[in-house]
Chain A
Amino acid sequence: MSPNVTPDQTTRLAHGSRRSMFLRMLVRAAVLRRGRATAALLAMVVAAGVTTAMLNLYVDVQAKLHTEFRNYGANVVVVAKNGESLSSGALQQIDSVLGGNGLAVPFAYVVARTSDGQPIVVSGTDLDQVPKLNRWWSVTAWPSRERDALVGERAAALVAPRGQAFDLSFQGRTIRLNPVGTVRTGSSEDSRIYLSLKEFESWTGEKASTVEIAAWGSPEEVRATIQKLTSALPQADIRPVRQIMEGEARVLGKTQSTLLVCVLLIILTAALCVLSTLMGWVFDRRRDFAIMKALGASERLIGGFFITEAAVLGAVGAIFGFGVGVAIAMWIGRVNFHAPVAPRVAVLPEVLVGSIAVALIAALLPMFLLRRVQPATILRGE
């Protein structure tokens, strides 16, 4: 409010149209002290922005990290009971349970013989899906045509050391395969030969016995998927891969706790920033306060004035800050996870309430301190 209140204005305040006077005081206070009002608003916006960004990230990071952990491959395995094959409809059933919320890849295995009688594990699978499921496979070239095979690195040294075509036999039936690429994983895949499931079935007559599934989502969602699979496929064993699921839960849990502490610290610092700026602003206007009191304004009126001012500042700051914060969160998501963090409107009420609360504390604390002081003392500049 302007310090030079004219007698005319006070008369109007006394006689009515209180509402318009109240509004006028609010607006003039912001306009006449642009510099400090802007500083207070800026502090509010920055604090609300940082808070929004941190809350957004905190909520979203779990989903982002779940996606990263799915690079570890299957977290659920479906195995036919007693070493039999899965029924031909099993894969469709699994796909319908997943409903696009996961990836299921069938595997069939036999032990075949090479031309010099060495036993070797041959697997039939969906060669289009495997690279999506097992991203860590280091493959030189994926088979695309008929009679093409993907040969494990150690198997390649045995069956096709010079990359030539080779023969495999299973129960008297022989097939000739072209090794188009090699796979290297560091585990049992290195000793195997992979070909497309269709070709595998027509050669061996064996069907898929295992389906590896990467179920997406939170641990609860994965558990729900496992339950649905168990009831949909009574003829098979549904096994969660505990190695992957527990490792993921552990790392995520620790990351989440660290993040929570950091987010709380940042929000605390941001609140402190707002508090000190706003308190300075209100404290600075103790002369306005004194003049209003000297002119006969009730404590309730003055309190209402400062409270409204703080609330408006808090609300405006929170709304602008929310926009800024969403932008920061999206930027962090793009830079770090190469996927945008979805803006969460659910965070807005929390930020709004928090901002207004901090602004009110910042306004009321100096008010409380100044209430006991006589207006005359303040006006004398003491």
Chain B
Amino acid sequence: MFLRLVYESFRRQKRRKLLAGTAITLGVGVATAMIAVATDIGDKVSRELRAFGANLVVTPQEDTLDLQIAGADLKPPSDGAYLEESDLPKIHGMFWHNNIVGFAPVLPVAANVGGKNVTLLGTYFSKRLNFGKEEFQTGVRAIYPWWKVDGTWPQDDSQDVLLGERLATGLGRKAGDEIEIAGQAHRVAGVLSTGGTEDDQIIAPLAEAQRILGRPGAVRRLYVSAVTKPEDAFARRDPRSLRGPEFDRWYCSPYVQSIAYQLQEAIPHAHAEQIRQLAQNEGTVLTRIKGLMLLITLAALLAAALAVSAAMATAMFERRTEIGLMRALGAGRVSVAAIFFAEALLLAVLAGTVGFAGGAMLARAMGRSIFDSQIAVDLVLFPIVVALAVLVTFAGSALAIRRAVKFDPAFALRGEA
């Protein structure tokens, strides 16, 4: 009888069930999507923050001081130490290599172009490298998304170069022209605009810079762009003072400090340092955006809970004659309440499942259209969301059921509620 009452109620009152069900579906859907987005937003934004460029720099340990003024490198090439180019692919074997968006070695050399001294910067554009059996590509195109080239990007194994925008204007060259650098002719593949010091420089494949310098395999500095976790007090601890599990926890967190530490391990005789302008500010921006999303998610959950409980209260309130009839026929308060709660439970689970699926699809769509990557919804969320839906549905119907059950059946049947 109990089951039949519940079944018939769903079969016969389709309109009411549909209304309340829609409210629950929508509420659960919004809640699921918001929770998924809020939990993933930190990861997504830290990837987006990589648009600011490298946040780590690796220099030789025994290096002399930099002599940079407004980007012009005045350091004599004979001066200072170098990193070995052959060590670079080892970065791909680091613990956190999946967090490394890319890296680019640089080798600035002085070059004579038409009687003028300019800086020629050797680097990787998008170089194929091998680490063990794995092949990967990296270079300035991956880590400096704001570099714009009018023309084409040179190949890393060619002798083509890029001319900085201002330098190109000064020399009167454009993409496709020839240019003589240090006594050898090079093709200008494109004109580079960065808004920085590179606009006054020549950018060439690393091998060309090494040839001009006469030091094969030499790299002056290495810029690394890594996705990191905002720094906290634990991150700033000196790794030498950490013991056992504490050290493991520090080592296995993607703090900018631990990634620097691992870079030093991967590349011999190197000193890795965070570029504070980026590394420090990333944390603040990330915390703000994450905090904002958290608060908005709370607002969304509140709105969803209110919508669901309001819909349930309305649906239950409409049925007080039905309750009156049951009571008049001799049903006890508990059994009447049990029937209605069972209905609410069934409705919450059914609509909650549909809502969860819809919310997951919405989160995926948001991830794809806004961040060009997936926002995955953890299945662990499913029981939690459905339990929440059941709870809110109960809370919404409880008051209406309680009032209806207490009400004298005679009045309810006469319609004087």
Contacts and interface: CB of A to CB of B under 8 A. Distances in A.
Interface string A45-71: 011001001100100010011001101
Interface string B242-285: 00000000000000000000000000000001111111110011
Given A72-B277, A246-B51, A280-B314, A269 B300 contact: yes
B378 interface: no
Interface string B299-313: 110111011001101
A335 to B, nearest CB: 7
Nearest to A267: B303
A276 B195 contact: no
B291 A241 contact: no
Contacts of A54: 296, 299
A273 B307 contact: yes
A332 interface: yes
B19 to A, nearest CB: 7
Contact of B276 (A136, A257, A259, A328): A136
Contacts of B131: none
A239 B296 contact: no
Contact of A188 (B53, B66, B296): B66
Interface string A219-249: 0000000000000000000011111111100
Contacts of B64: 118
A187 B52 contact: no
Nearest to B291: A336
A284 interface: yes
Contact of B66 (A72, A191, A257): A191
Interface in B42-56: 44-45, 48-49, 51-53, 56
B275 A272 contact: no
Given A43-B306, A243-B196, A57 B296 contact: yes
B196 A68 contact: no
B302 A50 contact: yes
A246 B65 contact: no
B49 A280 contact: no
B194 interface: yes
Given A258-B293, A262-B34, A120 B65 contact: yes
B288 interface: yes
A335 B69 contact: no
Nearest to B367: A258
Interface residues of A, number: 79
Contacts of A254: 44-45, 48, 370-371
Given A119-B74, A186-B276, A244-B52, 15 more contacts: A46-B303, A68-B284, A119-B67, A121-B67, A135-B281, A187-B277, A188-B68, A246-B146, A247-B51, A266-B300, A269-B30, A272-B307, A273-B307, A280-B315, A381-B413
20 contacts: A39-B313, A50-B299, A65-B285, A111-B67, A119-B67, A136-B277, A136-B281, A154-B65, A187-B276, A191-B65, A244-B52, A251-B45, A251-B289, A255-B292, A262-B300, A268-B30, A280-B314, A280-B317, A335-B291, A381-B413
Interface of B: 19, 23, 26-27, 30, 33-34, 37, 41, 44-45, 48-49, 51-53, 56-57, 64-70, 74, 144-146, 193-196, 199, 273-281, 284-285, 288-289, 291-293, 295-297, 299-300, 302-304, 306-307, 310-311, 313-315, 317-318, 321, 366, 369-371, 413-415
Interface of A: 39, 43, 46-47, 50, 53-54, 57, 61, 64-65, 68-69, 71-73, 79, 109, 111, 118-121, 134-138, 154-155, 158, 184-188, 190-191, 209-210, 239-247, 250-251, 254-255, 257-259, 261-263, 265-266, 268-270, 272-273, 276-277, 279-280, 283-284, 287, 328, 332, 335-337, 381
